[in-house]
Chain A
């Protein structure tokens, strides 16, 4: 891999040990991925609750981040203790989530000192961090990566938390994968003609996205036949499950994705390597796979994987108007502080909270301690991504009900 003089200085330790470690990591990774050089990144999005020892090592001697850096949602131990009484010295299963309040405070202090923007959301595009076409972004959170590519036309390679941390520190990333225009064309054509996608609900889009993610693996896909009026929310539910049991990070939606005005453009003028026909049964099979519990057993409903938009909060408030939680049931809603503030201004947040729901900027699916150590073993959600995380990250202990927002609201509330 060819490094320029500045990059060599970083590698040689001229800017301190943290920057040196970050550059060494990026160089090893770049060589693993056969990148020939580094490129500047426009923004990085990182997870705040990474291992503290790792964060301390990587930021040793670092006085500023070399690109704009924002934060993913996290496991905030203070929130879970104060709202749900959950305190644990143990890590959550799957290892994610710092339960130690001291480590959490230490991480936030390090990040705040480095002027990281405390967005605490997996949907940075809902809080004004909207990449432009061809911007190069290194975002943790595979749903955000997919959104950056598929909704906004940014160059967002599939990368890890450790890459986004190293890119924050150096302002650089290996030039590889979806950064390269030639790697962005679709390989799989998804034929949706058998589906009535015009009448799809978010849960249908989620099931479709999960199904295609599994089929696609690491390959890019193009959906032909989707409505050109796909909303941000519909796109979010379609694209976010593509990386759960797959690694499909570039999903062209003809007429929606900036670089896919036509099917031909999405395919780069070539024939698709494979055409995947999806049937209504394929979609239903996924819905069935995520329905492993009888509705009456559901103890908790969860929305916000990925974090809700203001439009969804408006819908949720309208569904919850005049309703309250059934005894023994809970409703947790993941949303950024900024969107929550807007919802409060609009009066939605008050309606939602009056019904008994709790709004949080935390991750409410994979890192939700209620299902890991809080005794909840049956969750309703409108997110295919979330449903799959609940199943896999609890080693199957948590069963799921999968439906649209209204279905889930009806399960846990009464008038």
Chain B
């Protein structure tokens, strides 16, 4: 299935999807030293985000998010790509600063169409998301 959307941070990457139902913040939710989801208050606590394609409604939280994505980039622990419904400035900045491909405003709701574990290709430069078989 091919979805079309809007470029937030250019680049191309693929990986296993992980659905984060609540808005995502790099600060407090990604441990840059391990790539794992760091907040015990998130139901996905402890899950590996490294190399995954995060699918989430939008961003939230502190303006320090890009510092975390920078350190995670240096350690090779960032997610492969981010898909969201509508980008907000801090999540977008974190993706741009760390070179994480990111798209938003897809023509269909990715939170309804993509499941955790699906393989997803994100061509953020072209604004295209392709999902494998569900």
Contacts and interface: CB of A to CB of B under 8 A. Distances in A.
Interface stretch (A139-147, A276-284, A324-332): A139-147
Interface in A234-255: 243-247
Contacts of A244: 61-62
A94 B38 contact: yes
B55 interface: no
B93 A247 contact: no
Interface centre among B28, B58, B89, B97 (most CB of A within 10 A): B89
A313 B38 CA distance: 34
Interface stretch (A4-12, A23-31, A295-303, A402-410): A23-31
A284 B29 CA distance: 26
Interface string B100-114: 001010000000000
A262 interface: no
A52 to B, nearest CB: 11
B41 to A, nearest CB: 6
Interface size bracket, A side = 35 or more
A29 B96 contact: yes
A34 B88 CA distance: 11
Nearest to A141: B63
Interface stretch (B12-20, B64-72, B115-123): B64-72
A342 interface: no
Contacts, number: 147
Nearest to B28: A392
A381 interface: no
Given A28-B10, A91-B33, A389-B28, A160 B66 contact: yes
A366 B89 contact: no
Contacts of A54: 70, 97
B39 interface: yes
Given A29-B93, A95-B32, A177-B89, A162 B66 contact: yes
A160 B90 contact: yes
B89 A163 contact: yes
Given A94-B28, A161-B64, A391-B41, A31 B7 contact: yes
B60 to A, nearest CB: 5
Interface string A105-145: 00000000000000000000000000000000000111001
A29 B92 contact: yes
A96 B71 CA distance: 9
A164 B93 CA distance: 11
A96 B61 contact: no
A93 interface: yes
B9 A93 contact: no
B87 interface: yes
Contacts of B71: 51, 91, 95
| Chain B residues touching A, majority SS | mixed
B129 interface: no
A33 B87 CA distance: 7
| Chain A residues touching B, majority SS | loop
A79 B59 CA distance: 33
A18 to B, nearest CB: 14
A396 B89 contact: no
Contacts of B81: none
A136 to B, nearest CB: 14
Given A91-B71, A162-B97, A396-B40, A218 B64 contact: no
A93 B72 CA distance: 12
B9 A96 contact: no
Interface string A385-402: 000010111011000000
A33 B28 contact: no
A58 to B, nearest CB: 10
Contacts of A225: none
Contacts of B23: 217-218, 246-247
A160 B45 CA distance: 24
A159 B39 contact: no
A192 to B, nearest CB: 23
13 contacts: A28-B96, A29-B92, A32-B9, A32-B87, A93-B38, A95-B33, A142-B62, A158-B63, A158-B90, A160-B94, A162-B94, A177-B89, A395-B38
Interface of B: 6-10, 23, 27-29, 31-33, 38-41, 45, 57-68, 70-72, 74, 86-90, 92-94, 96-97, 102, 104
